[in-house]
Amino acid sequence: MPTKRSHSGPFVQAFEGHVPTIDPTAYVHPLAVVIGDVTIGKKVYVGPGAVIRGDWGTVVITDGCNVQENCVIHSFPGATTVLEANAHIGHGAVLHGPHIGRNVLVGMNAVVMDGAEIGDNTIIGALTLIPSEAVIPAGKVVGGNPYAILKDATPAMIEWKTKGTELYQTLPERHRAKAKRPAAKKKKRTTGQAYKTWKQTSRTRTKS
């Protein structure tokens, strides 16, 4: 199958008979690259500059995930990289063959290596290195290089993470709606209630 690129669609390329499967409710940015044995589920957002390579191995991105700008997802031959539902992969992160659990946050520029198992509802800080075959239990906060389990993720932290992911889950439909509308004059942004950082959120909770 020939390579596919259009003015409105991503760069999608088959590899040795493996054709990427992208759910119609997902949004993959035109400047993203998807190659080979890749499955992208419902309401997934893939940002510009992301590269998802299923040439040697398989990549499965299940429903509600987001893979932000300049992320790389790949694996060794015969291996499978899995993102379970609602995984949230921050800008510039690299995933090479891990299994990412449900509702996990992988922070910006973090690296998660081959065979690592990340438990559900875990939060991985920016710039963290998770080495090959590491096992992180569910509901932990992890950071550092080399990584350390810092503490348990509180219900408030998990709620904050979940709300952030829900914002990303609105983007596929919003991008499609924008593509259908004619160009309009620039107008003042109306974002509604602002989404706060965890530090801002935790300070607010402490005061109340």
Three-class DSSP labels, 89-154: ECCCCEEECCEECCCCEECCCCEECCCCEECCCCEECCCCEECCCCEECCCEEEECCCCEEEEECC
What pLDDT does 189 receive? 55
pLDDT > 90? residue 179: no
What pLDDT does 164 receive? 97
* Block residue for tokens 């350390």: 148
Q: What's the pTM?
A: 0.88
pLDDT > 80? residue 39: yes
Average pLDDT over residues 163-175: 96
Average pLDDT over residues 91-120: 98
pLDDT band at 186 (very low <50, low <70, confident <90, very high): low
Q: What domains can be seen in the chain, in order of their start residue?
A: 1-208 (2.160.10.10)
pLDDT band at 181 (very low <50, low <70, confident <90, very high): low
**If you average pLDDT over every residue of the chain, what do you get?**
91
**Range with lowest mean pLDDT among 104-113, 132-141, 172-181:** 172-181
What pLDDT does 178 receive? 76
SS3 118: strand
pLDDT > 80? residue 190: no
Element at 178 (helix H, strand E): helix 171-180
pLDDT band at 206 (very low <50, low <70, confident <90, very high): low
